[in-house]
Copies of this chain bind each other. A is one copy, B any other.
Amino acid sequence: MTRDLVLHEDAGSGNCYKIRLTAAHLGITLDRKSYDIMAGETRTPEFLTRINAIGKIPVLQIGDRFLAESNAACHWLAAGSTLIPFDRFGHADMLHWMFWEQYSHEPNIATMRYYKLYVGEENMSAEQRALVPGKIAGGEAALTLMDEHLGRHPFLAADRFSLADICLYGYTHVAGQGGFDLARWPHIGAWLERVAAIPGHISMDA
């Protein structure tokens, strides 16, 4: 089961870290293959043809099959485990947070971090600069929503630790690198500590 799993990744990507963190909680070992996205290594003809037609990582390789989209890869790894609530509403509520992450959280918070850490503020295009105010506002709104929820619940979905926490932890815990001051959202801070204290947790640079 755990053989022939290769994570095509960039170690600094929160989307890739989600998959490694899921695997760590499950005791699954992944082989890792690194790509330099800024050098175009995920845009080569070989990568686009064989691994992911949209030129993005992470991709989880399962034998000779390839699964893109970080949250889908986490779902594959965790299938049948306690990281996915077994009841119908809990499962859907977990997915609700994971879809929300891709629509309302990641495009704001991860992209601001990408601009600052990968692109560099001095190298940003005019188009990227025009997007910044909306991404700051959207990121702050997303963190405020999480904070309010986490003031009333210990974890995001079904009041228990699940893939929703892992997938939101990925970029939330490094939101400061995108310019978001997490001290403004104390319930998020307490939740980050709860998640990091769960046995099996690994850090992003592990």
Which residues of A does B touch, CB under 8 Å? Answer: 53-54, 62, 65, 67-73, 75-76, 79-80, 88-89, 91-93, 95-96, 98-100, 102-104, 106-107, 127, 130-131, 133-134, 141, 145, 148-149
Contact = CB atoms under 8 A, between A and B. Distances in A.
Nearest to A128: B134
Contacts of A148: 53
A127 B69 CA distance: 29
A124 to B, nearest CB: 14
B93 A67 contact: yes
A75 B96 CA distance: 9
B102 A103 contact: yes
Given A68-B100, A69-B100, A75 B89 contact: no
Nearest to A148: B53
Residue of A89, A148, A149 contacting most chain B CB atoms (<10 Å): A89
A145 B127 CA distance: 24
